[in-house]
Chain A
Amino acid sequence: MGFFIETMLGGLMTGMLYSLVALGFVLIFKASGVFNFAQGAMVLVAALAMARFSEWSNAALGGDSLFLANVIGIIGAGAVMFLVAWAVERFVLRKLVNQEGATLLMVTLGIAYVLEGLGQTFFGSEIYSINVGMPKDPVIMFEGLIEGGVMINKEDFIAAALAAVLVGGLTVFFQKTAIGRALRAVADDHQAAQSVGIPLNKTWVIVWCVAGLVALVAGIIWGSKMGVQFSLVTVALRALPVVILGGLTSVPGAIVGGLIIGVGEKLSEVYLGPMVGGGIEIWFAYVMALIVLLFRPQGLFGEKIINRV
């Protein structure tokens, strides 16, 4: 019993991190109708910037204050993400107002390559580390309830809590504020949004900034877990089934989808894995997404597709 709960909690926490990356997808899709293939590259660039800026400032400060170096790192990485958002709007999206979704999709693919290349050119292509002082040691909890207690990885727990706060905040921002409404309006119809005086340019910069911020948080958490390296890009691939499962337009969907996939992955690996020789974790998420698509093409929480004939 203890082991089952342990596996499940582990899954939930990994799932929360998937949600975080998935959230980046959902935000941009909701606000510009673009499926952003560059989200993974943004995570990489954010993590690289964070790792290198804090490394450099740590060296400049003589290694005295890791905290200060990290703060400088976060500010530097934040500035980089803002620059990315501004550049994407200025040089790409502005030229593509009122274009087809497929066109915009292909453009984000291009942006992904440019970001990956530029990121590694500026910040290097080695493996770097981010140390924001996350505790690495596990703790034993619920000893009174279950025999032997449940072992929880503190780092995962803090990361999951951070992700949860961010996700909750963004949900409220999107649903309850005037700017959130303006963002949704732009996603829905460019022309109509302009007619009520919503400036497209500013709106897009805001959305890509928010998505950049989410990428930064995801980059820091994943980077401190597994090191900052090119393979961070694939984190986005793991979030893809999460987005499909939860629905592209739903922030809560991204959360629940992430949790389902996180838990499903871990439980299936532990309990089904031995039967088929293991390795389930890698493809399990995609199969789950596929099954959901068969029955609900819009995802679990997506907006219902209404067809008028």
Chain B
Amino acid sequence: MDMTDMNTAAAAPHSGRRQGEVILDLQNISLRFGGVKALTDISFNIREHEIRAIIGPNGAGKSSMLNVINGVYHPQEGKIMFRGQQRQKMEPHMAAQQGIARTFQNIALFKGMSVLDNIMTGRNLKMKSNIFQQALWLGPALREEIAHRERVEEIIDFLEIQHIRKTPVGALPYGLQKRVDLGRALAMEPQILLLDEPMAGMNVEEKQDMCRFILDISDQFGTTIVLIEHDMGVVMDISDRVVVLDYGKKIGDGTPDEVRNNQDVINAYLGSGH
């Protein structure tokens, strides 16, 4: 059975979560590094408010796909439509300006800074006072700092990391660092939240916590979430729709149940002959 053509029209939300308009539409994306084809002719879209997973075995091109969405890589072919407008070539910090936040597979936090400061950096784009106001500690800069600090404290409460607020991030255990990474992305109040293997390297308990946070973010803030995962089990439980990549090609797209029964996907994961 081939489901690559089934695409999005048939995909219905499998949970009660609302699904809005298409916010990001990737059309025929191809990405090469020299002679190596990382992505070949991949098309799929992301709807507002949904949890969209990108899965696949090692080396399938998941992270490349995420980096394309985030503006780190520029595909040689294909179009990216963001809110109905074709996106131009851009720098990574411009993705942040458009409301796309991300976390990192190998955690890229500011290790020397406290948890609080790390999450405060997520508010950077929302700060409007200029360098002179800040340097001289004028009223507007100070008021702004306090207002943003309040938002950050809410996020800290939400992620249940009050007890480590002032700890330098480098001194924290892995699972908590992942949570701070998520907090920093959340502080940006993103429209699209990209999570690069948020569960990687975690034990079962930490994974459950992370799942709960992801679902809570979706429910409470309505944030569109794009999730890359290696581990199929977790993804199937929390996502609305799943894209499956293998060797840089799309081999499946649909609800978790549809994907689970897709022969190509089964072959990719378990080897052909099953």
Q: Residues of A with Cβ closer than 8 Å to B?
A: 169, 172-173, 176-182, 184-185, 188-189, 191-200, 206, 249, 303, 306
Contacts and interface: CB of A to CB of B under 8 A. Distances in A.
B141 A177 contact: yes
A176 B97 CA distance: 24
A195 B110 contact: no
A26 B251 CA distance: 52
27 contacts: A172-B137, A177-B137, A178-B127, A178-B129, A178-B141, A178-B145, A179-B131, A181-B113, A181-B121, A181-B124, A188-B109, A188-B110, A191-B92, A191-B108, A192-B108, A194-B93, A195-B93, A195-B95, A195-B102, A196-B185, A197-B124, A197-B125, A198-B93, A198-B124, A249-B112, A306-B111, A306-B171
Nearest to A186: B110
B117 interface: yes
Nearest to A209: B131
Contacts of B1: none
B91 A195 contact: no
Contacts of B117: 181, 184
A178 B123 CA distance: 9
Contact of A199 (B93, B120, B122): B93
Nearest to B103: A195
B82 interface: no
Interface centre among B93, B101, B108, B148 (most CB of A within 10 A): B93
A195 B112 contact: no
B96 A303 contact: no
B70 interface: yes
Contact of A197 (B93, B104, B129, B148): B93
Interface string B166-178: 0010110000000
**How extensive is the interface on chain B, given as a class?**
35 or more
A244 B122 CA distance: 32
Interface in B137-152: 137, 141, 144-145, 148
Interface in B74-126: 91-93, 95-97, 101-102, 104, 108-113, 117, 120-125
Contact of B110 (A169, A192, A206): A192
Contacts of A191: 92, 104, 108
Interface centre among B109, B110, B188 (most CB of A within 10 A): B110
Contacts of A249: 112
B47 interface: no
B125 A196 contact: yes
Given A178-B127, A179-B134, A184-B113, A195 B92 contact: yes
Given A178-B127, A182-B121, A200-B93, A195 B104 contact: yes
A241 B202 CA distance: 44
- The 7 A-B pairs with the shortest beta carbon distances in the complex, nearest first, are A197-B96, A192-B108, A188-B110, A194-B92, A177-B134, A197-B125, A185-B121
B124 A189 contact: no
A194 B91 contact: yes
B91 A199 contact: yes
Decide if the interface of chain A is mainly helix, strand, loop or mixed: helix
Given A177-B134, A182-B124, A196 B109 contact: no
B112 A303 contact: yes
Contacts of A197: 93, 96-97, 124-125, 188
B60 to A, nearest CB: 22
B101 A196 contact: yes
Contacts, number: 99
B230 to A, nearest CB: 21
Interface of B: 70, 91-93, 95-97, 101-102, 104, 108-113, 117, 120-125, 127, 129, 131, 134-135, 137, 141, 144-145, 148, 168, 170-171, 184-185, 188
A178 B129 CA distance: 9
Contacts of B168: 303
B134 A194 contact: no
Contact of A195 (B70, B129, B144, B145): B70
B170 A306 contact: yes
A264 B222 CA distance: 62
Contacts of B111: 188-189, 306
Contacts of A173: 134-135
B171 to A, nearest CB: 6
A303 B127 CA distance: 28
B96 A196 contact: yes
B124 A178 contact: yes
A101 to B, nearest CB: 14
Contacts of A185: 110, 113, 121, 124
Given A185-B124, A197-B188, 9 more contacts: A178-B134, A179-B131, A182-B121, A185-B113, A191-B104, A195-B102, A195-B104, A196-B124, A200-B93
A180 B97 CA distance: 20
A189 B91 contact: no
A189 B109 contact: yes
B234 to A, nearest CB: 23
Contact of B108 (A172, A195, A198, A206): A195
Nearest to A305: B170
B95 to A, nearest CB: 8
Contacts of A192: 104, 108-110
Nearest to A188: B110
Contacts of B127: 178
